[in-house]
Amino acid sequence: MEITSLGYRTDLLLLELSGSVFHDAGEYVVVRTPDNPGFWWGNFLLYRTPFAPGDTKTRLDSFHQEFPAAKHVALGIDSVDGQIGAEDELTAAGFTVERSVVMTASEVVPPGRPNEESTYRLLGSDDDWEQLVQLSLATADMTVDEGYEQFTRRKLVANRGLVEAGHGKWFGAFDGGRLQSSLGLMFDGKGLARFQTVQTAPEDRGRGLASTLVHRASTYGLTDGGARTLVMVADPEYLAIRIYRALGFTDSETQLQFSLPPA
């Protein structure tokens, strides 16, 4: 199964390592995560071509055929140039269109104002991982209900499984024993390392934690981790992208995602 997009290629690698299954249907790839049906980007269709006129309805029908019990809809395009096609039909149907920037680095530079006050270490204990659950809920950009908490816990169980199986590391910045900021760095074993979920507690933002943590994890990845290329996927409208660029990451591709939330 050939995937062109570096963003999706690394996404699918980590999903597969976590137990997701794929089916190549020709026009699209079906991605399923049976253990976490509420995980939108673990249960989606990845199309190989942009949207031609009329494709929105056809692809929406295909999603419902593949995922009849799903409350959400999630579609992607395996491309690098950000070309959507009939975007007006997607937005008219209520889809949210997300354009993320796939960034890469083969070397990094230190942050201009590193945070030297916090303690930086790998997550290990049950308490560390429970704090990561709470941090993820505190930084969510949507309403946190029972379903979202269940999704979050299942996702972090999968991430912890990847770490404990030797596929990556999860880094944290701590104030004493309190987790302030965190991120994951996962390896494909062939020279690529993909960042996961850079997040900082709202009360700890603006103190240089994320930039310091990304730099420390990047340095580890390019040395002890054996990576030649680091991959980061970022929201072009969010201020964190400036942090990554300042550390040496450069824009490489545009990753496209389209979603309809549960009614």
Report the pLDDT value the prediction gives residue 1, as an integer from 0 to 100.
Answer: 82
User: Cβ-count burial of 69 within 10 angstroms (0-12 exposed, 13-18 middle, 19+ buried)?
Assistant: exposed
Amino acid at 69: A
| pLDDT at residue 250, as a whole number | 98
Q: Where are the domains of the chain?
A: 6-101, 119-247
What pTM value is reported for the model?
Answer: 0.93
> Domain 119-247 adopts which CATH fold?
Aminopeptidase (3.40.630)
Of the candidates 22, 226, 198, which has an alpha carbon nearest to the alpha carbon of residue 103? Answer: 198
Work out the average pLDDT over 227-252.
96
Please report the pLDDT score of residue 229 as a whole number.
98
Q: Give the model's confidence band at 212: pLDDT under 50 very low, under 70 low, under 90 confident, else very high.
A: very high
What is the rounded CA–CA span in Å between residue 263 and residue 63?
Answer: 15
Question: What is the average pLDDT across 182-199?
Answer: 97
Q: What percent of the chain has pLDDT over 70?
A: 100
168's tokens: 């990556």
State the chain's mean pLDDT as an integer: 96
Residue among 133, 137, 139, 260 at smallest CA distance from 209: 139
